[in-house]
Structure 1
Amino acid sequence: MEQILTHIRNIPIQRNFVENLPFNPHLIILLKEKRKAGILGEVLFWKKVRARVFHNIDFDRQRIIGNYIVDFYVKALGLVIEIDGSSHDEKEVYDGIRQEYLESLGLLVFRVDDFDIRNNLSIVMRELEEFIILNYGTTPSSKIL
């Protein structure tokens, strides 16, 4: 089975599919409301990643994981992308608990500030590439002489 998802800057990116994630069906109504809200940073980011336009990687928007709704999720990598806007001000403890929970499931979390999405989107996308390369990139095995 092919374990390489894609290539970024000619570096193979390894799949990291995390199975059996918990799902709280009671959050479905809230999820639909969040999708309709159209928060600018999320909409701008979505335009850059939807329909596999970012290195042919499939992103889900507003995904329920356990008792949380994450902003974006890459199933093939087990990667959560969280866009922190003003709603995250004064919520460092909550965000820390949430991130710890997600990481306990074997997921990685890439956090980005909403301000940076709105003002430096190309830099954010480059940082996301670097994060993916660092955490999921593989180097071809070298021959041992």
Structure 2
Amino acid sequence: MVSTSIRRATAKKLRASTTPHERTLWRALKELPVDGTHFRRQAPIGPYVVDFLCPAAHLVIELDGGHHNDDETAKRDRERQLWLKQEGYRVVRFWNSEITDDLNAVLERIYVELHGSREAPAEPLKHRRRR
């Protein structure tokens, strides 16, 4: 297991070098109507650092570039996603091209993941700390 201080340092380094797609989604997530909670970017969870995390909804959002098509990278992504699922997180993946081509559709999918449907009102979410 990687130490907490190493994971935090890695997350901080990743936040300082975000991709253009991550910056675009980060700005858009701040505008999503989600009272009582927030998203974190480059958040450490266990041995991993995820792109975006909504702790109250246990929702992880991952952005994937073309290199995620490589066999080895895809295998690591599957292992990571399985581990996160076993820890109680839902993982939603988007391709970078989806951020560029149709950001509104991406935000709509995230809203549905948070609230259950497009028509659902934005209910306040409560962050529950894991012990």
Higher strand share: 1
In structure 1, how many angstroms separate the alpha carbons of the residues matched to 2:26 and 2:56? Answer: 17
TM-score, with length taken from structure 1? 0.70
CA shift, 1:62, in A, is 0.6
Amino acid of the structure 2 residue aligned with 1:105: E
Computing the radius of gyration from Cα coordinates, the structure with the larger value is: 1
**1:125 partnered with 2:107:** yes
In structure 2, how many angstroms separate the alpha carbons of the residues matched to 1:72 and 1:103? Answer: 15
* Alignment check: 8 A CA contact 1:45 1:117 kept: yes
Aligned to 1:104: 86
Q: What secondary structure does 1:110 align onto?
A: strand
Identity score, percent: 28
In structure 2, how many angstroms separate the alpha carbons of the residues matched to 1:36 and 1:87? Answer: 21
In structure 1, how many angstroms separate the alpha carbons of the residues matched to 2:77 and 2:41? Answer: 19
* Alignment check: 8 A CA contact 2:29 2:107 kept: no
In structure 1, how many angstroms separate the alpha carbons of the residues matched to 2:11 and 2:67? Answer: 16
In structure 1, how many angstroms separate the alpha carbons of the residues matched to 2:69 and 2:16? Answer: 22
For each residue in 1:15-67, what CA deviation from the matched residue of structure 2 results, as whole angstroms up to 9, or x when unmatched?
xxxxxxxx7331222212211112011100000112xx211241011100011
**1:45 partnered with 2:25:** yes
Structure 1 alignment gaps of length 5 or more = 1-22, 138-145
> What is the aligned-residue RMSD (CA, Å)?
2.1
Q: What secondary structure does 1:72 align onto?
A: strand
User: How many matched pairs?
Assistant: 113
* Alignment check: 8 A CA contact 1:70 1:82 kept: yes
Higher helix share: 2
In structure 2, how many angstroms separate the alpha carbons of the residues matched to 1:87 and 1:67? Answer: 21
Relative to structure 1, is the Cα distance of residues 89 and 24 closer, same or farther in structure 2, using a 3 angstrom cutoff? farther
CA shift, 1:124, in A, is 0.9
